[in-house]
Structure 1
Amino acid sequence: MTSTTDRMSEARSLVRKPYDFTVKEAAGKTHIPGLNGMRAIAVMLVIIAHYGFQDVVPGGLGVTIFFFISGFLICTLLLREQEKSGTIAIKAFYVRRFLRLAPEMYVFVGLTALYFFVRGVPVELGRAFAAVAYWMNYYKIFNLSSEGSGIHWGHLWSLAVEEHFYLTFPLLVLALVKVPKRLMLLLTIILIVCPIYRAFTLIENFPGHYTYYASEARADSLAYGCLLACLARYSEGAVALFRRFANPALPLGILVLLATLVLRNEFFRETIRYSLQGIGIGMIFIGLYYGSLGPVLLEWLETPIADWLGKLSYAIYLWHFILLNVIDMEFGVADMRALPMGQHLLLTAVMTVISIALAQASYLLVYQNFVRLRRNWGSHAA
């Protein structure tokens, strides 16, 4: 297991040599510096927005960052496996993903359902099925009228989007990776088609917030991460461009993200915004891993607290939202924004600490008990 000190030393060494995915993985390492730190930032954006600060904190951007990281990491691991063994063990991949994500989620759904049942709140079977079957995004699209009562579990929609990616993308990699240009071409087509499709759904008045929740409408948020992983691995020309423009790419990527938050036109927000955010996040990744300032930022992203929060980010995401139901039922606080600012800030801090504590318990009692089983299916998890 790689220690925190080793990871920080690795990040510091990047000052002398820009990050190279292929060199790093040839050494047999699976840890990519900074990813846990970026997960920590993403989950903090999400929970602070959900706790009543959505007008100033972009929670949706946090979700998009999660999508990009998932695409980038999963594609990197799949490509590495194919190069190492000549194929991709699809069954083992599916089992590893299930054992990584499902146990904590099922425990979360079970315990929260039990709590609300004891409190006399009915548990809708359709909503429970959507939660455990990774179908919550489409449940939300077609059942928005039921969102105002009972147990929401609505935030599980993003886990459904990622699960649909896990089910389909490895098959595409297996079919196309022997000719990497074909895989990169397919990813490029996805990046082009998705915003066009989102525009079509708006024009045709698809139900709910279709462009935000539907897996096919958000596929490009994951595909941007996948394409960056492919380019970094297979395109010497792209890597040369990354190194040449890495320093301006980092601040420019941040500016692109800020622009997507400032522009409030509804058509833009539902169509092109996700594309520009994918490009902006990709530019930040290039700046982090190839630019001169990146190693300093990576060292910050590798600090113990950032690494810890990143490891807990999945469980934090699971548990944080249900606390809104609890304070509504127990204290009659239906909207935290109605509270005086001092009380709002204090309650946000308390709920954030509780979310992290619940996540730590989930990590120790659930996640850790499945690590050994995952290793039996080829996982390198510590």
Structure 2
Amino acid sequence: MHAQRHQTTRAGQPLPALPYNPALDGLRAVAILLVILSHAHAPLFDGAFYGVDLFFVLSGYLITTLLLQEWQQSGRLDYWRFYRRRLWRLMPALVLFLLAYCIFAPLLWPGMTDMYTDALVSLLYLADYGIAFFDSPDTLLHMWSLSVEEHFYLVWPPLLVLLARVTQPGKLWRPMLALFLLAWAWRVLWVVQGQQFYEIFFRFDTRATGLLAGGLLATLLRERPAWFEALRQRLVHFMWLVLAVPLLMAQAWDDMNAMVWGMTVVECATVVVMLALLERRGAIYEMLSAPALVTLGRLSYGIYLWHYPVVRWLRADLPWPAVVALGLAISTLLAALSYYGLERWALRRRDAAAAPRSRPRKAEGELHLCTRSQG
């Protein structure tokens, strides 16, 4: 996966690829470990659902960076190329997982009657609103975050182009910041109006802040306004914000504080960590570049797909430490089989379809996002 060719425009001109940063894979590994701890019902990790917010910030940053690169180089976006690449990256692994689920779910849960409906809702990327308002899917509850990201992929490219067209050069960060604040206010509005926690938690329109925070970070790193550069010079002082995240693990499901400020703290802390990782030096970069974490991060999309049914089945009879250990091991094995057996083939097909006729240069690295944002 790390020998990606340059993406190309319709005219065959190569687009720059993002340089590979192993520490970002390490951050994905931390995110997937938090998600598994949450779904295993590990004590002291009730708030580990915040792992998904790490994924959202990463996805928003990487996708927006690629879109801005293309826009600034060619003055346009090739929407078809973008959506085709998303399809080739995400859909093969998802289809394989859902086929396996439809085959084995009746054996694992004999009384289940809605597995095919759950699979269809997941395949159509409707799980976020399906869960929020119709309690479907149930045994594929984790599909909601994939739906959130897919909706972002659909609406963000044309919206980003619109913002770029109507904004002065170097000032795109202003409407991006406004969008982030509006998205936060929109979520808080539903809290104030008394809507149920799960009706807010799962929806794209109320969970867009993480994706927009990542997009804002990508924009600031390209435009580099003076105030942002001044803050970057004082980044060490903002690392204290990261220490607040472990304290949020005590926030349980139904705690509306998570909606009002908890998610915002995690999103801002993730931005701070990413700024440190993008420097490619320092203790945090070295820690998250550990080979074991990088390997988990590379497989994080597949692990995320497979982990929930596995963990749900294991936790019925096993204590939580065994659920975490076995759930991670089994999910990683299945993700590796999916990746090396199917996904790498799909990535080759994707890149071959986009390659120019002349021999392409090798890129320094490849974007592969976890959900996921992955690829």
Same-fold status (TM-score > 0.5): yes
User: Paired residue for 2:10?
Assistant: none
In the TM superposition, 1:150-229 aligns within 5 A as 152-178=139-165, 179=167, 180=169, 183-207=172-196, 209-229=198-218
Q: Which stretch of structure 1 is more off in the superposition, 153-162 or 370-379?
A: 370-379
Query: Cα deviations across residues 53-91 of structure 1 (Å, max 9, x unaligned)?
Result: 154264211100000000011111111122223321111
Query: Cα deviations across residues 331-381 of structure 1 (Å, max 9, x unaligned)?
Result: x53xx5xx4xxxx42343122111110110011112111011211354874
Is 2:126 aligned against 1:135? yes
User: Paired residue for 1:304?
Assistant: 291
Deviation at 1:249, TM superposition (A): 1.9
| Structure 1 contact 108–319 (Cα < 8 Å) conserved | yes
Matched residues in 2 for 1:116 and 1:95: separation? 30
| Structure 2 contact 102–116 (Cα < 8 Å) conserved | no
Query: Cα deviations across residues 293-327 of structure 1 (Å, max 9, x unaligned)?
Result: x5332133223222211110000011011113434
SS at match of 1:115: helix
Is 2:336 aligned against 1:348? no
Structure 1 counterpart of 2:174, one-letter code: L
Which blocks of at least 5 consecutive residues in structure 1 are unaligned? 4-25
Deviation at 1:28, TM superposition (A): 5.7
* Count of matched residue positions in the alignment of Structure 1 and Structure 2: 342
Is 2:52 aligned against 1:63? yes
Structure 1 counterpart of 2:48, one-letter code: G
User: Paired residue for 2:350?
Assistant: 374
Aligned Cα root-mean-square deviation (Å): 2.7
Matched residues in 2 for 1:355 and 1:262: separation? 26
Choose which of 38, 45, 53 in structure 2 pairs with 1:49.
38
Deviation at 1:95, TM superposition (A): 0.7
Query: Cα deviations across residues 30-64 of structure 1 (Å, max 9, x unaligned)?
Result: 32342111101110111122112154264211100
Matched residues in 1 for 2:41 and 2:196: separation? 25
Distance 1:378 1:234, change over 3 A: farther
User: Paired residue for 2:9?
Assistant: none
Deviation at 1:2, TM superposition (A): 5.5
Choose which of 346, 349, 359 in structure 1 pairs with 2:335.
359
User: Paired residue for 2:255?
Assistant: 266
Matched residues in 2 for 1:143 and 1:115: separation? 24
Query: Cα deviations across residues 276-296 of structure 1 (Å, max 9, x unaligned)?
Result: 2212211222233359xx533
Choose which of 280, 286, 298 in structure 1 pairs with 2:269.
280
TM-score (norm 1): 0.81
| Relative contact order higher in (CA < 8 Å, ≥ 6 apart) | 2
User: Paired residue for 2:87?
Assistant: 98
SS at match of 2:76: coil
| Structure 1 contact 113–123 (Cα < 8 Å) conserved | no
What is the percent sequence identity of the aligned residues? 26
Is 2:81 aligned against 1:86? no
TM-score (norm 2): 0.82
Deviation at 1:102, TM superposition (A): 1.1
User: Paired residue for 1:318?
Assistant: 305
Matched residues in 2 for 1:263 and 1:161: separation? 22
Matched residues in 2 for 1:184 and 1:311: separation? 30
SS at match of 1:190: helix
Is 2:61 aligned against 1:72? yes
Which blocks of at least 5 consecutive residues in structure 2 are unaligned? 4-14, 356-362, 368-375
Distance 1:195 1:28, change over 3 A: closer
Distance 1:247 1:325, change over 3 A: closer
| Structure 1 contact 141–213 (Cα < 8 Å) conserved | yes
Matched residues in 2 for 1:202 and 1:255: separation? 26
Structure 2 counterpart of 1:368, one-letter code: R
